[in-house]
Chains A and B, each alone.
Chain A
C-alpha cells in the first residue's frame, strides 16, 4: 500500500534512468546506510562487528567483483581467491615501501595490480568459452597460489611466510594493526564498500554495463553490433579483479589483521565467493550483499548460535554440515530460482507494489 510508484511522474530521461527511480527505494537505501554507519557502530558489540559485519562487507565486495565477470559478462572465473591474494600482497608491498602514504589509498590502489593480473589471465577468454575458460582460470588460481608461497619477496621474507599487518593510522587513529578497534576498521571498510558499490552501479548502468551483458547474452550478435569482444572481456576481467583485489586487501588489513595466503586465498575461497554470487543472484549488485550475508551467517550460526541454544556441535561437524547445507542450497537455487535471492527480492517488491489489490 505504501510502496508504489503511482503518482511519481518522471519528466526527464535522467529521472527515468536513475538507479532507484522510486521514492520509497531511495528512502530505504538512506535508512540502511544510516543504520550501517551510525546505529551499528554505536550499539553493535565488538563480537558482532568483527564476526558478522566485517566479513560480510569483505565478502560482498569480493562477490561484487566476481559478479561483474561471471554474472554480468557470463565468464566463469574460479580464480577469485587468487585475485584477492594479489590485492592483499600488492597492498602489503606498497605499504612496506611507502609507509607514509595513507593505507586506505594503498588498499584502493592495490586493486590496480590485481586488475592487471586479472586482465592477463583473461586473455584466453578470446578463444575459449564456458567450461574451458573455467579451467583456464584454475590455472591462475593454482599458479598465483604457488607464487604466494614460493616467492618470499611477496611476504617480506617473514619467517612465518605470512603477511604481518603493520599499524597504520588515519588522523592519528589506528585503522590497521593490533591497536585498531573493530569499530574503526568497520567504518573504514564500510566507506570503501559504499564508494565501490556506487561506482560499480554507475558503470554497470551505462554503456559499459550494457556491453558486458550483450557479450554474456549473445557474444556473436554483440560482435556484429560492433562490440569488440576482447577489449570488452578484458575490461570485465580487469574490473572484476580490481574489486576482488581491493576485497583481498581489505580482508588482510581490516579483517584478518595478517595471516597466511594459503589459508585465505585458496581454491575454496574462490568457490565460496562463487556460491555467494550464485545464491545471491547472477547479474545483480544487490544480490552480492544477499549472498554474502547468507553464506557468511550460516557458519556463524552453526558455530556460535547452536551452542547458545543448547545444541553443542563439534567445530569439524559444523563445517561438514555447512558444506552440506551450502551445496544443497546451490542446487536448490539453481533449480527453483536461477536468478537467486535478488530475483526473490524483486518479486517481493512487485507484490508489494500492487498489495493489497493485486488485480
Chain B
C-alpha cells in the first residue's frame, strides 16, 4: 500500500507542493528533448532520402563538435574552424556516399544498418586518433553564444534558465523552419521528397540518387554540427556522449522514422518524460533510471503502435 502510494500519488503531491521545481524539471527535460530531437532530425533526413537507418548520426554529432574544438585548439580562429568543420562534414558526406552507400545499393536494409555501425567505429577511431580521446571544452564564447543564466521568480520560487539552453531552443526552431522551407520550396527539396517516395521513380525522371544522397548526408552533417555545438556547450565534448546520443533511437521509434514533426514531438516527450521520471520516481529505486527509461517508454509505445506516432500504418503484403 505504501509502495503504491509512493509510485502513484506521492510524486504528484510533490509536483503540486513545489510547482517551481516542476517547472525547472520540465524546462530541463524540454532542452534535452530539443537536443534529442535534433539528432533524430538528422537521422530522419537520411532515412527519408536513402532508406538508411543511420546509427552513426549520434557519433556524427560528437565528431562534428570534436572537429570544431580540435581545430580551434590547434590555433584556427573560431569562424574559420566552423567553415573548415563544414568542409569536413561535406567531405564525410561525399565519402560515405562513395565508399559505403554506392557499393551497397540494393542490399537489404539491415546490411546498410550494420554498415553504419562500422561507420560509427571509423568516426570514433578517426576522431580520437586526430584529436585525442580526452574530453574537451566547447568554444562557447568564441562562437558568440551567450553564457550565464537568468533567474526568474515564479510560483513562489525561483526557476533558472541557462542562456545557452534558450539559445539552443531558438536555434533549433530556426533550423527546423529552415529545413521545412528548404524541403517545400526548393528544387533540391522537391527532388529529395521525390526520392523519399520512390527511388526508382525518382531515378526514371532523371534525379541523380548519388547526388541526392551526398546532399542529405551533408545536410545531416550540418544538423550534427549545430547539435554538437549546443550539446558541447552544456557538457564536455567527448565520445562518452555516444551513449546519450543513442537516445535519439527511442525518439525515432516514438515519432516514426520518416516524420520530421514526429522527431520533434518524440524528442520532447522522451526528454521531458525521462527528466520527470528521474526526478520524481528515480529516488524510489536508487536513481540512475534516466539511462534506460527512454527505451522502456519507446518499447511500451512500440507494443501499442508499431508504426510510431506519425508513421504510416504498416499493411503487410505478400
Docked-complex contact B249 and A149, CB < 8 angstroms:
no
Does A26 interact with chain B (Cβ within 8 Å)?
no
Docked-complex contact A327 and B292, CB < 8 angstroms:
no
How many residues of A sit at the interface, in one of the four size bands?
35 or more
**Per-residue interface assignment for chain B, residues 276 to 318, with 1 indicating a CB less than 8 Å from any chain A CB and 0 otherwise:** 0000000001111101100110110011001000000000101
Residues of chain A within 8 A of B249, CB atoms compared: 135, 138
Docked-complex contact B303 and A139, CB < 8 angstroms:
no
Docked-complex contact B253 and A334, CB < 8 angstroms:
no
Q: What 5 A-B pairs come out closest when comparing CB atoms?
A: A324-B125, A327-B121, A330-B118, A139-B295, A327-B122
Complex interface: stretch among A103-111, A125-133, A164-172, A194-202? A125-133
Does A34 interact with chain B (Cβ within 8 Å)?
no
Complex interface: stretch among A52-60, A236-244, A271-279, A285-293? A271-279
Does B154 interact with chain A (Cβ within 8 Å)?
no
Task: Sample 5 A-B pairs with CB under 8 A, ordered by A number.
Answer: A142-B295, A145-B291, A150-B285, A323-B125, A324-B124
Q: How far is the CA of A329 from the CA of B318 in the complex (A)?
A: 36
Does A124 interact with chain B (Cβ within 8 Å)?
yes
Residues of chain A within 8 A of B24, CB atoms compared: none
Which residue from chain B places its CB closest to the CB of A134 in the assembled complex? B113
**Per-residue interface assignment for chain B, residues 203 to 215, with 1 indicating a CB less than 8 Å from any chain A CB and 0 otherwise:** 0000000000000
Docked-complex contact B111 and A338, CB < 8 angstroms:
yes
Docked-complex contact B129 and A321, CB < 8 angstroms:
yes
Docked-complex contact A316 and B302, CB < 8 angstroms:
no
With contacts A131-B53, A324-B125, A327-B119 taken as known, whether A124 is within 8 angstroms of B303 at the C-beta atoms is yes
Does B110 interact with chain A (Cβ within 8 Å)?
yes
With contacts A317-B129, A320-B128 taken as known, whether A330 is within 8 angstroms of B302 at the C-beta atoms is no
Does A328 interact with chain B (Cβ within 8 Å)?
yes
Within the complex, the shortest CB–CB distance from B63 to chain A, in Å, comes to 12
Chain B residues with CB under 8 Å of chain A are 53, 99-100, 103-104, 107, 109-111, 113-115, 117-126, 128-129, 132-133, 243, 246, 249-250, 252-253, 257, 285-289, 291-292, 295-296, 298-299, 302-303, 306, 316, 318
With contacts A127-B303, A150-B286 taken as known, whether A324 is within 8 angstroms of B126 at the C-beta atoms is yes
Q: How far is the CA of A334 from the CA of B107 in the complex (A)?
A: 10
| Neighbour of B129 across the interface among A127, A134, A324, CB < 8 A | A324
Which residue from chain A places its CB closest to the CB of B318 in the assembled complex? A220
Does A98 interact with chain B (Cβ within 8 Å)?
no
Within the complex, the shortest CB–CB distance from A283 to chain B, in Å, comes to 13
Does A345 interact with chain B (Cβ within 8 Å)?
no
Docked-complex contact B288 and A321, CB < 8 angstroms:
no
**Per-residue interface assignment for chain A, residues 318 to 352, with 1 indicating a CB less than 8 Å from any chain B CB and 0 otherwise:** 01111111111111001100100000000000000
Within the complex, the shortest CB–CB distance from B83 to chain A, in Å, comes to 26
Docked-complex contact A320 and B114, CB < 8 angstroms:
no
Within the complex, the shortest CB–CB distance from A98 to chain B, in Å, comes to 28
With contacts A132-B253, A135-B298 taken as known, whether A331 is within 8 angstroms of B291 at the C-beta atoms is no
| Interface class of chain B by DSSP | helix
Other CB < 8 Å A-B pairs besides A74-B110, A326-B118, 12 of them? A127-B302, A131-B109, A136-B298, A138-B249, A142-B295, A271-B117, A316-B132, A324-B129, A327-B119, A327-B125, A331-B122, A335-B103
Which residue from chain B places its CB closest to the CB of A272 in the assembled complex? B121
Number of A-B contacts (CB under 8 A): 137
Docked-complex contact B302 and A150, CB < 8 angstroms:
no
Docked-complex contact B110 and A130, CB < 8 angstroms:
yes
Docked-complex contact A329 and B298, CB < 8 angstroms:
no
Chain A residues with CB under 8 Å of chain B are 74, 76, 124, 127-128, 130-132, 134-136, 138-139, 142-143, 145-146, 149-150, 220-221, 267, 271, 274-275, 278, 316-317, 319-331, 334-335, 338
Which residue from chain B places its CB closest to the CB of A334 in the assembled complex? B115
Docked-complex contact B295 and A143, CB < 8 angstroms:
yes
Residues of chain A within 8 A of B133, CB atoms compared: 316, 319-320
Docked-complex contact B121 and A135, CB < 8 angstroms:
no
Within the complex, the shortest CB–CB distance from B252 to chain A, in Å, comes to 8
Docked-complex contact B299 and A136, CB < 8 angstroms:
yes
Q: How far is the CA of A128 from the CA of B300 in the complex (A)?
A: 12
Docked-complex contact B316 and A220, CB < 8 angstroms:
yes
Within the complex, the shortest CB–CB distance from A356 to chain B, in Å, comes to 33
Q: How far is the CA of A175 from the CA of B306 in the complex (A)?
A: 48
Q: How far is the CA of A267 from the CA of B123 in the complex (A)?
A: 17
Within the complex, the shortest CB–CB distance from B192 to chain A, in Å, comes to 21
Docked-complex contact B298 and A139, CB < 8 angstroms:
yes
Docked-complex contact B121 and A143, CB < 8 angstroms:
no
Residues of chain B within 8 A of A220, CB atoms compared: 316, 318
Residues of chain B within 8 A of A319, CB atoms compared: 128, 133
Docked-complex contact B114 and A330, CB < 8 angstroms:
yes
Indicate the member of A128, A131, A150 with the most B CB atoms within 10 Å. Answer: A131
Indicate the member of B113, B295, B306, B318 with the most A CB atoms within 10 Å. Answer: B295
Which residue from chain A places its CB closest to the CB of B123 in the assembled complex? A327
Within the complex, the shortest CB–CB distance from A2 to chain B, in Å, comes to 36
Residues of chain B within 8 A of A136, CB atoms compared: 295, 298-299, 302
Within the complex, the shortest CB–CB distance from B318 to chain A, in Å, comes to 5
Residues of chain A within 8 A of B111, CB atoms compared: 334, 338
Q: How far is the CA of A116 from the CA of B129 in the complex (A)?
A: 41
Q: How far is the CA of A138 from the CA of B104 in the complex (A)?
A: 26
Docked-complex contact B122 and A328, CB < 8 angstroms:
yes
With contacts A132-B306, A143-B296, A320-B125 taken as known, whether A331 is within 8 angstroms of B109 at the C-beta atoms is no
Q: How far is the CA of A126 from the CA of B38 in the complex (A)?
A: 30
Indicate the member of A136, A274, A328 with the most B CB atoms within 10 Å. Answer: A136
Residues of chain B within 8 A of A267, CB atoms compared: 243, 246
Residues of chain A within 8 A of B107, CB atoms compared: 334, 338
Residues of chain B within 8 A of A330, CB atoms compared: 114-115, 117-118, 121
With contacts A130-B109, A146-B288, A320-B129 taken as known, whether A334 is within 8 angstroms of B302 at the C-beta atoms is no
Docked-complex contact B302 and A324, CB < 8 angstroms:
no
Docked-complex contact A76 and B110, CB < 8 angstroms:
yes
Within the complex, the shortest CB–CB distance from A69 to chain B, in Å, comes to 13
Within the complex, the shortest CB–CB distance from A331 to chain B, in Å, comes to 4
